Chains A and B, each alone.
Chain A
Amino acid sequence: MIGEELVQLLTPEGERIANSEYESTLGIDEIFGLYRDMVIIRRLCNESTSLQRQGQLALWAPVQGQEAAQIGAGRALQPMDFTFPTYREHGIAWCRGVPPKDMLRLFRATSNGGWDPQKYRHSVPTVVLGNQALNAVGYAMGIQRDGAEEAVMAFFGDGASSQGDVLESFVWASSFNTPVVFFCQNNQWGISTPMSIQSKIPLYHRAHGFGFPGIRVDGNDVLAVYEVTKRALDSARVGGGPTLIEAYTYRLGAHTTSDDPTRYRIDAEVEVWKHRDPIERVKSLLVREYHVKSAKFDEVITEADAMALQLREDVLAMDRPDPITMFDHAYAAPHPLVEEGRREMIELGVSAASPS
């Protein structure tokens, strides 16, 4: 299933393997940092799932199994780079510095965004599949015109790779040699639709047909994802043009908390992928090669638990917005229909805003 051309620097057992093109440049502190990030993201995801189960969130899109893909990519970014996520990029958001509570505003249904995208250089979520790939290419065209040494990264899934917008974004990125890295997390499923319905060839092969390099990396190997992404970004920043990275991974959980994957996939498949757990893999390396003590791992667990506790507190304190806020920012300049609606709502008395 996994082809020869998969870039891997760690086996599922956490043993290093040589790769002719890539080698890990990271030391113990950085590797431990990646481990910490992944544990925190998994904890965040578990906490969010239980918050949803308890009726505190409208929905949650779990990221279990994809932590290495996201943390490896997220940590390869430079502060001035810009990112365009979907609804599932919690690990990327974490690496960009978005506070966990802000990630949950969308899922608590109190906001359609949740954070200041310019502050974190991480755009607001795109739910309509594939739209953001074109937006990312446009942003990259702006970078070119500014003569800046920056790159932009567009995230999407195996399912979205079938959308016209994504394929058109490949054409544009290629024609204008834009500084964009397409990061496709192939988690094998688009809700109930298996990868085999989206593509008969490995997804990364598509890039070649559009005129730029494509590469498949073991999405459960955080060291490999980091190196592959870093090289693609470095190249993009200095005029090397686009790259498609296919992070070969697996969605261990449901599509969202509304989904029931037992209707369409077998447990045996899930079990196989559980053995390729991205977190255990790097933990094994840390123990075997760097003799990291269990106390050090425990500290991370403690930190993750504290984060989850804080997150829960923050979410519970996140009130229903005043309905009058729906009129804010619908337009940049005053608009008569918006003003009419605002007046009507104030008269209805459902807002705390007082009649003027």
Chain B
Amino acid sequence: MTTTNMTMAKALNEGLRRAMEKNKKVLIMGEDVGKLGGVFRITDGLQKDFGEDRVIDAPLAESAIVGTAVGLAIRGYRTVCEIQFDGFVYPAFDQIVSQVAKLHKRSDGVYTMGLVIRIPFQGGIGAIEHHSESPEAYFAQTAGLRVVSCSNPSDAYWMIQQSIEHDDPIIFCEAKSRYWEKGEVDLDNPPQGLFDAAVRREGTDVTVIGYGSSVKTMLRAADTAVAEGTSLEIIDARSLAPLDLDTMARSLEKTGRLVVVQEAPHMASIGSEIVAELSERCFYSLRAPGLRVSGYHVPYPPSRIEEDYRPSVERILDAVDRVMGAES
């Protein structure tokens, strides 16, 4: 087993490199992905090594980045589209929902829409508007799409490769606030399947489920909770559509209490779906209603006050107290 320590940004870069080496049909397309290596440097050096035919600096138009990737897919190429920031995916929304999601069906399975749309998502980097959004639920709601999220180097390295190899279109959400964090990556064996949730920390009292940037906050909450005598089981959902409900239900059957954490507002969200599904599956094990800790139902605020919008340790622990107190 070879493990290497690297940042999540570097892990994505290495994963992309490996996928491009393995399969000549893999292309990268996006704004500033060539010479600059992307604004987050995720594609750093790839144009130099694989050429301008495979790493394409796009004219500035997201609808075209995705729309042409569809045509390339029909022609047998696998394109990894980079959307520069979450808030700039909407010009491509039509292509994603109307073509990317539906062409496999409309062609009776003849077309394979094997393409990946990478979106740096969520907040926490002190940016201006449109650079901190959580659009995952829009895509999860659309049949034909799969949505995954990575928030550590090992997942980044493996999930990007698994996504590129997958025959369905994948919306690939990267927790941008975690790009610069380091971790161990096993370069030989993937830790798990693309659509599996991961138990990040075992516990007995409350199951806390989240994804992306929230996972780290949840782990911090678990540390604090220990001091208060409460044991949290932390689950990183990883795949948002489909959800790995088996892993989640197994945990909930043990703890009987559920808190879900997300930066997106709770209305019609991934968190709402998790609570609904698990309430159905684990109704007789539940000792309290599942709670969601979410962003508020307002446009993402100016970043000077974003930490009061994003779920905090304090807000997670409040919810933990409520599910713990519900039965006493």
Contact = CB atoms under 8 A, between A and B. Distances in A.
Q: B interface, by DSSP: helix, strand, loop or mixed?
A: loop
Contact of A109 (B32, B36, B59, B302): B302
A97 interface: no
A130 B129 CA distance: 15
A286 interface: no
A258 B37 CA distance: 14
A190 interface: yes
B60 A162 contact: yes
Given A59-B128, A109-B303, A128-B90, A191 B39 contact: yes
Interface stretch (B8-16, B96-104, B243-251, B291-299): B291-299
Interface of B: 31-32, 34-37, 39, 57-61, 63-64, 87-88, 90-91, 126-130, 265, 267, 296-299, 301-305, 308-309, 314-315, 318
A128 B87 contact: yes
B128 A192 contact: no
A182 B91 CA distance: 21
Given A263-B37, A330-B298, 19 more contacts: A58-B126, A58-B304, A106-B302, A112-B128, A112-B301, A127-B129, A162-B61, A192-B34, A192-B35, A192-B57, A197-B58, A264-B35, A320-B304, A323-B308, A326-B301, A326-B308, A338-B298, A341-B297, A351-B308
A165 B91 contact: yes
A110 B61 contact: no
A107 B128 contact: yes
Contacts of A197: 57-59
Nearest to A336: B297
Nearest to B90: A128
Nearest to B294: A341
A109 B304 contact: yes
Contacts, number: 125
A307 interface: no
A107 B88 CA distance: 19
A94 B324 CA distance: 56
A31 interface: no
A340 B295 CA distance: 12
A252 interface: no
Given A128-B130, A198-B59, A330-B297, A191 B36 contact: yes
A162 B59 contact: yes
A258 B39 CA distance: 9
A336 to B, nearest CB: 9
B298 A263 contact: no
B128 A263 contact: no
A318 to B, nearest CB: 9
A198 B60 contact: yes
Contacts of A193: 31-32, 57-60
B304 A110 contact: yes
